[in-house]
Amino acid sequence: MGVRRHGAGQGAWSLSPVVVGDAAHAEALLGVLRDSRRRVPVLLISSRDGDVRRFLDADMLAGFLDGLVSVCIVDDTMGRPLKDRVPKNVRLHGDACRVISPGAISPEADYPVFIRNTRVSRSLLTVMIVSEVLGYYTAEIRRIIEHEGMERP
């Protein structure tokens, strides 16, 4: 499947966004999102007209986060069929993106969503998303330190 091959699964990660534009990619994405072994967040991006560049630089995000997140652009034609197969807290519509934390998706989880806003520049939206992803890793490092009983410097 294309999504796994390009990095949304457990293994190697792509520095380019994966475009989910056909049924095979949509099925692969569902498999990835439902995989309890997934260790890396997935950034789902949707666009009302298929052009995410108006509000977000997905290539820059994927490159900057360098494998810390898998960036998936969900084509609007695929977003509708996926909608009924994922919990409401995972769904996207219009110009928006959502950070899905590692592990299998859960209807109870809080997955931050970022919606295009004409008052927020592309740069600021990008910084907000980067901050969210890095915040996940910061919390995970703290959890490991506390679990191991290590002292913080």
Task: Spell out the domain ranges in the chain.
Answer: 18-150
Its pTM stands at 0.79
Tell the CATH superfamily of the 18-150 domain: Glutaredoxin (3.40.30.10)
Per-residue pLDDT of the chain (153 residues; tens, 9 = 90+): 334 334 444 444 456 888 888 888 888 999 999 999 998 899 999 887 777 887 888 888 888 888 888 899 887 777 777 888 899 899 888 888 999 999 999 999 998 888 887 777 888 888 888 888 888 888 888 888 887 776 655
CB 39 within 8 A of CB 63: no
CB 70 within 8 A of CB 136: no
Residues 6+ apart with CB under 8 A from 145: 152
